[in-house]
A and B are shown apart, each in its own frame.
Chain A
Amino acid sequence: MQLSIDDRWFREKTIALSALYQVVDPELCVNIIDLGLVYGLDFDDASAVTVTMTLSTPHCPMGESIITGVKNALSGVFPEKIAEVQLVWDPAWNYTMMTEEGRAQLNL
């Protein structure tokens, strides 16, 4: 996920990303940002923060816990907002979406 300094919500998105770094895929032991699971953040709704994301595999056994982690992390930094997760399978996740750091952690 790319961040632009021109983005109207740059500050909020930086805080959100920093929080989402703490959410780790329990099977791969890599955080979801470095895995490239997070596709987008939306702050347009004043009462909510919406994360558009995917999972490394559809119906991942740990999917529910990852989504709970995302909501927990965002609720911690934006207590006044409702944390929502929009789960999508398109585009499907693949390893090229991982960051250099994520690849290094998986010895790729």
Chain B
Amino acid sequence: MADINIAKAPPNYVVLPFYGTGALFFLVLAVMMLFTPGEWGGHYFTPHLLAMTHTAALGWGSMIIFGSAYQLLPVICESDLFSSKMALASYGCLTVGAGLLIASFWLFTPGWMMITGGALVVTAAGIYGVNAYLTMGSCKRYSVQKLFILASAGWLLVTTLAGLLLAINLYEPFIFRSHLDMLKLHAHAGLAGWFRQLITGVSSKLVPIFLLGKSGKIRLLYGSFVCQNAGLVLFLADGLVFGFTPRIFFYEGLIVLGVVAWLIWLFDCYRNRVRKAIDLPMRHVFFSCLCLLIALLLPPALYYSHDHVWALVYGLFLFQGWITFLILGMTFKTLPFIVWNYRYKHLSGKIKVPMPKHLYHEKWLRYQLGIHTASLLLLVAGVALRQEALIRTGIWIALATAALYVGNVVTVMFYKIKTPADATVHR
């Protein structure tokens, strides 16, 4: 294999803290929800909802995505991760920054704590972006996946910088436009720029691997890249200069076109797959895509209705639906392999070793999929119908989802090697 590079994954101590901390934030998010069922019917700009949104976006979504990106960048870029130390530095900045931001939103104390938290998150985004860029820089081959990953890192920096400016503005107002309008731009840069483009890029590399599928329609992905970015840039520029006008539907249409192109590409991979059985983690991906499609249908209601309920339903489908379903599933497509590589790689071929899928409780994963679906449906119904009892039930079920997820993550991370007593020595 002289001239073929098998990219090496970064050491486990670089990646595992992201998974552990992300799982903890997911549990914290569910506990925070327990204290706020009465706040789910009003305006979204409340201390507790802001704290929960940032827990979901930074502590949960971005934390796990950072970890898996550091693990998968070598696979996607076909070269080793540029710097493990930078990855650890981004972990420290993101963890402390998210913690400070969440606490300052929950207590609603604009000032040094919120601004320091925001600055640390910007630093984490900067370090991540530089590390991703330099990892890709060492790779000669050009691919659409790299475009998406670089663009998403850029959007993360834009989003976090905008967030920092908003945090400063809360303490010392200096932005000439409405704070709430700026908040919408900040949120959409994060959702459509950071999360969606990273997910598009990574999934277009990993889904064919997981399904043993392929699609020759690579132009769909390039089209998706152009549409998603053009739509988002126009949305942000127009929103910044002229505010929110019906023109946003044209920009949203472009973004939706981009998302649909990506989904068609995924479906083509699914149709042309070798592996017929769809495992539980991949079923989570199906639900995630469904939630994204539903969320993309909601902006007209957000624009024309003055009822804040729609904003909450939109947020639920995006955070609890699209992002959370994806992470709940993909954690078990990555974490067990990371741990397995560390614990069993050196024993592979020598003795019979468990497979990565044996490192977690499959039954728990099945329950997780069912109860998270139930929780999301109850929360959406509760918010839409203003039924606090439904919201409360949904929150308790969300807590059960978090407990199952954390339990399974802990099971994988602390899986004890069982050799030689439990392993059959072949020869």
Q: Mark A41-59, 1 if CB is under 8 A from B, else 0.
A: 0000000000000001111
> Does B127 count as interface, using CB distance less than 8 angstroms?
no
* A64 in contact with B6 (CB, 8 Å): yes
* A70 in contact with B349 (CB, 8 Å): yes
Docked Cα-Cα span, A28 to B275, in Å, equals: 9
* A106 in contact with B349 (CB, 8 Å): no
In the complex, residue of chain B having the shortest beta-carbon distance to the beta carbon of A56? B212
Q: Mark A15-32, 1 if CB is under 8 A from B, else 0.
A: 000011011101111000
A19-B427, A76-B427, A86-B1 known; A68-B209 Cβ under 8 A? no
Q: Inside 8 A of B219's CB, which chain A residues have their CB? A: none
Q: Inside 8 A of A61's CB, which chain B residues have their CB? A: 9, 72, 75, 209, 337
* B349 in contact with A72 (CB, 8 Å): yes
* B345 in contact with A24 (CB, 8 Å): no
Docked Cα-Cα span, A88 to B275, in Å, equals: 23
* A69 in contact with B7 (CB, 8 Å): no
Q: Inside 8 A of A38's CB, which chain B residues have their CB? A: none
Number of interface residues of A (CB under 8 A): 39
In the complex, chain A residues 71-92 whose Cβ is within 8 Å of any chain B Cβ:
71-74, 76-77, 85-89
Docked Cα-Cα span, A77 to B181, in Å, equals: 69
In the complex, residue of chain A having the shortest beta-carbon distance to the beta carbon of B209? A57
Docked Cα-Cα span, A87 to B352, in Å, equals: 24
* B210 in contact with A27 (CB, 8 Å): yes
Cβ-defined partner of B357 (8 Å) among A23, A29, A95: A29
Docked Cα-Cα span, A27 to B340, in Å, equals: 11
* B348 in contact with A29 (CB, 8 Å): no
> Does A108 count as interface, using CB distance less than 8 angstroms?
yes
* B345 in contact with A22 (CB, 8 Å): no
> Does A3 count as interface, using CB distance less than 8 angstroms?
no
> Does A107 count as interface, using CB distance less than 8 angstroms?
yes
A56-B212, A67-B1, A86-B1 known; A22-B337 Cβ under 8 A? no
Q: Inside 8 A of B1's CB, which chain A residues have their CB? A: 67, 85-87
In the complex, residue of chain A having the shortest beta-carbon distance to the beta carbon of B7? A59
> Does A65 count as interface, using CB distance less than 8 angstroms?
yes
In the complex, residue of chain A having the shortest beta-carbon distance to the beta carbon of B352? A22
Docked Cα-Cα span, A5 to B53, in Å, equals: 67
In the complex, chain B residues 1-31 whose Cβ is within 8 Å of any chain A Cβ:
1, 4-9
Q: Which A residues are within 8 Å of any B CB, using their own CB?
A: 19-20, 22-24, 26-29, 56-74, 76-77, 85-89, 95, 106-108
Q: A26-B337, A64-B8 are in contact. List 12 more A-B contacts (CB 8 A).
A: A22-B352, A22-B426, A26-B340, A27-B210, A56-B209, A56-B212, A58-B78, A64-B9, A68-B346, A69-B349, A76-B426, A88-B4
14 A-B pairs within 8 Å (CB atoms) are namely A19-B349, A22-B352, A26-B355, A28-B212, A63-B6, A65-B341, A65-B345, A69-B349, A72-B349, A73-B350, A74-B349, A76-B350, A76-B427, A108-B274
